[in-house]
Structure 1
């Protein structure tokens, strides 16, 4: 027996002398996903700034790692419907500008040897989306953060995404442009067509009755589609809330066919007159003089400008024993092409 024990001690001594670390089983509830950022969220431990999307700013915020930022963007697209159909650009500062040319380059006809007069030049318009800082400040108890089974990344992404989506959805439709985006329903409207309407003014068609559709409601819907010029109709969508959509789904043509066509396969959107419908609950209900239905190509007509990274700071001191996670993101939005979006105004004239 002593010889066997001597052999075992010799083998252990060889391992220890070689400096091989002992392999230990993980603690109960530990996760291989928990990295440096999870440690920062749980305990405030310093985060080594090697994030690919950016480093901490001068004020001391930490850039959200790429994995969490990707989850936030994906969730926002599904909750904030305007973001999903608009033109979203990433910017490095709040001074973003965009040029939009209205009209074309006039041309003329001449004989082979006739004189060529000077033609007109295109008109450029500069658009600068109003920017504001969108923030969320969710909280969790330290006891919850200490629970190893608690998925910190998923909770943080969900809380921030929900807060951001609510504010975005309202601002892209009805924002006044003061420290926030300017919604497409807050720009001037006119019954004039594209040829005579000033740049930056949306065209509206009246329904024919104050706060209601006229006798043949399908006619104003068809007129709205045709008011949008053919190049913009490629990729156009309807935008309305669920209450308005419930009324439209009951409309029939004179031969009894429904204007609304449900999707025939999973993932296929339902259509109205052949165009997809986006439900945006921030659109107003039908009322006198309300602008309750929009139709247009929002990729061409509405611009969203946002910073590429979300900043987050951990605050365990203000509201003990809760830990706050202050997240902020600069974002702006406005109508960039007023020819690409049309509205229905529920008025008699």
Structure 2
């Protein structure tokens, strides 16, 4: 799937009442999001299918859904972009801000990361980190006022926030550690996920019928990629 990618900006100018407008010529490139496929199959004995009154098939479908969901979540964070989708943390064009400490996150590092994004992206941005990083962040205070930088949700269903922006837990984000990138901050309109085929379950009772086995095929086709790296910033554990 091809998306237009702006590579320059327009050039508006202040004009007097009778002055003519001047043209701008922004340039555009293309960004490609390649569709990937993840698949597997499961063999189930016909006796088990018959004796379980539909429960065995339901359990297999649930296991497949959980497996495919976990694989997609991992790919959207750390996918190499070869056989799997491109992950946010593997895109080489996303910049980073250091945490300010050799082996841990700091409040000042998160504040620096926050303001490293242009305001237009910052005001639509979300923090992403795993539970270990989130636990560490909840204990942080800024060095000026001593206030906690993490804030609880103000109403039921609303997200928690860090420095006024929502925070999302992603289990596949790296842990805090020297040289790691445990936190991502950005406007996620710069990352595209393209669904081509929802989880497809195909039951084939004929292929292995002489062995008393039914084969269940599962397939999912999805692509993802960073379209605008400038909308994101990583935190690197470093001084």
| TM-score, normalising length: structure 1 | 0.60
Gap runs ≥5 in structure 2: none
State which of 211, 226, 235 in structure 1 corresponds to 2:115: 226
Task: Find the counterpart in structure 1 of residue 50 from structure 2.
Answer: 146
Contact 1:311-1:329 within 8 A present in 2 as well: yes
By relative contact order (CA 8 Å, sep 6+), the higher-ranking structure is 2
Shift of 1:219: 1.9
Moved over 4 A (4+): 109-116, 151-154, 318-322
Q: Distance in 1 between matches of 2:71 and 2:81?
A: 13
Alpha-carbon spacing, 1:234–1:152, altered in 2? closer, same or farther (3 Å): farther
Task: Find the counterpart in structure 2 of residue 171 from structure 1.
Answer: 75
State which of 156, 173, 179 in structure 2 corresponds to 1:283: 173
Shift of 1:318: 8.6
Task: Find the counterpart in structure 1 of residue 89 from structure 2.
Answer: 185
Q: Does 1:105 align with 2:10?
A: yes
Aligned residue for 1:339, secondary structure, equals: helix
Q: Distance in 2 between matches of 1:126 and 1:319?
A: 52
Task: Find the counterpart in structure 1 of residue 226 from structure 2.
Answer: 335
Q: Does 1:131 align with 2:35?
A: yes
Shift of 1:263: 2.4
Q: Distance in 2 between matches of 1:150 and 1:337?
A: 46
Aligned residue for 1:176, secondary structure, equals: coil
- RMSD (Å), alpha carbons: 2.7
- Of 281-290 and 226-235, deviating more is 226-235
Q: Distance in 2 between matches of 1:318 and 1:225?
A: 60
Q: Distance in 2 between matches of 1:114 and 1:237?
A: 43
Task: Find the counterpart in structure 2 of residue 347 from structure 1.
Answer: 238
State which of 93, 99, 115 in structure 2 corresponds to 1:207: 99
Alpha-carbon spacing, 1:264–1:286, altered in 2? closer, same or farther (3 Å): same
Q: Distance in 2 between matches of 1:276 and 1:126?
A: 31
Contact 1:131-1:179 within 8 A present in 2 as well: no
Shift of 1:104: 2.1
Shift of 1:319: 10
Q: Distance in 2 between matches of 1:218 and 1:294?
A: 14
State which of 158, 161, 186 in structure 2 corresponds to 1:268: 158
Gap runs ≥5 in structure 1: 1-95, 189-200
CA offsets per residue over residues 32-76 of structure 1, 9 Å max, x none? xxxxxxxxxxxxxxxxxxxxxxxxxxxxxxxxxxxxxxxxxxxxx
Aligned residue for 1:304, secondary structure, equals: strand
Shift of 1:179: 1.6
